[in-house]
Structure 1
Amino acid sequence: MSEILVTLYPWIKVIHILAVISWMAGLLYLPRLFVNHVEKGEKTPQIIPVFIEMEQKLLRIIMNPAMIVAWIAGLLLVSVPGVVDWGAGWPYSKLVGILGMTWFHHWLGRRRKELAAGENLRSGRDFRIMNEVPTLFMVIIVISVIARPF
């Protein structure tokens, strides 16, 4: 099995990077949709169904599959012998970032359901602030993998 993974390593990495880019795009865009849903929906209620559909499609068609593919490809990459130095600190800081992104993904999913049900308790400002969360996790991950400071 490890021989196959070594041979396919560059292609698995390509798939992983493409999936992460797609996932990040969704993590950055969905909170902005929530901002518009809340703020424009108050002024123009007839537009709310459009936001509900956009949010649902973004999550189900792009974000969920991208997250799953990123996780699977990432697990395949770290299972290649010699790729990760488990004695270093960077794999664990990267894992913190990945788990944070995954938590945020699920947090957004819960907020989408609340908005769709008309049960939202958050303001557009709240969603603007939360829109910075995936950037924080992205910075942790990129520094961990590229600079490997520990």
Structure 2
Amino acid sequence: MTIPWLAGLYPWTKALHLIAVIAWMAGMFYLPRLFVYHSTVPAGGEASEMFKVMERRLLRAIMNPAMGAAWLLGITLVLTPGVVDWSAGWWHGKMAGFLGMSAFHGHLAAARKGFERDERPRSERYWRMANEVPTLLLVLIVVMVIVKPF
């Protein structure tokens, strides 16, 4: 199903979608790095409390709205005539990457709540490795959308 009148808005929709994705990705790169640093300071201390504020503000003020906008504008793009060739396979890979990014966002949001309660079930090393997940998913998504290998 497509909505014909969206075709006239395509350049604006695409630009706003890209802006939302960039803002979301900035947070996806930074929040796990904050968790790395947060993992190294004593729970309940001054530094820990500062990290809690930074993490909460990053997630609520930047990441959540940006992800919502990316989803909304992405759905709008899918509904725009001529944007997706449903017979091509690239969009499956793109959607898998996007859903993976959304799931990782949920994981980060849950972890932030744990840090808020001074719970630290994951190590600094875990967060260092997790910090690479958004990069890998971003590479998958960009290659699928730009190169369209299949």
**TM-score, structure 1 as length reference:** 0.95
CA distance in 2, matches of 1:46, 1:145: 44
Q: Which secondary structure state, in structure 2, belongs to the residue aligned with residue 42 of structure 1?
A: coil
Render the CA deviation track for 1:88-132: whole Å, top value 9, x for unaligned: 110010000000000000000010001110111111111000000
CA distance in 1, matches of 2:43, 2:61: 28
CA distance in 1, matches of 2:9, 2:98: 23
Report how many residues are paired.
Answer: 149
Poorly superposed stretches of 4+, deviation over 4 Å: none
CA distance in 2, matches of 1:100, 1:43: 30
CA distance in 2, matches of 1:2, 1:117: 46
CA distance in 2, matches of 1:81, 1:29: 35
Q: Which secondary structure state, in structure 2, belongs to the residue aligned with residue 120 of structure 1?
A: coil
Q: What pairs with 1:1-150 in structure 2 (closer than 5 Å)?
A: 2-39=3-40, 41-42=41-42, 45-150=45-150
Q: Which ranges of structure 1 fall in alignment gaps of 5 or more residues? A: none
Higher helix share: 1
RMSD: 1.5
**TM-score, structure 2 as length reference:** 0.95
Q: Which ranges of structure 2 fall in alignment gaps of 5 or more residues? A: none
Identity of paired residues, percent? 51
